[in-house]
Amino acid sequence: LSTNMKGSHCHLELVCTPVAAYLFKIVNLHEALKALERRSKI
C-alpha cells in the first residue's frame, strides 16, 4: 500500500508542479499589470 501511495504522490507532483508554476506566473503577470495601471494613472 505504501509504495502505491508513494507512486500516486509522485504522479500528483508531476501534474501539479507545472500547473502551480503556470498559475504563479499568471498571478505575477496580473500583479505587474495592476502596478503598471497604477503607475500610468499617476
Residue 30 has what pLDDT?
Answer: 95
Residue 35 has what pLDDT?
Answer: 94
Picking from 33, 11, 13, 31, the residue whose alpha carbon sits closest to that of residue 21 is: 13
At 39, the amino acid letter reads: R
**Structural domains in the chain (count):** 1
Query: For the segment 1-42, what is each residue's pLDDT rounded down to a tens digit?
Result: 455 555 555 566 667 788 888 989 999 999 999 999 999 886
Domain of residue 31: give its range.
Answer: 1-42
The predicted model scores a pTM of: 0.50
At 2, the amino acid letter reads: S
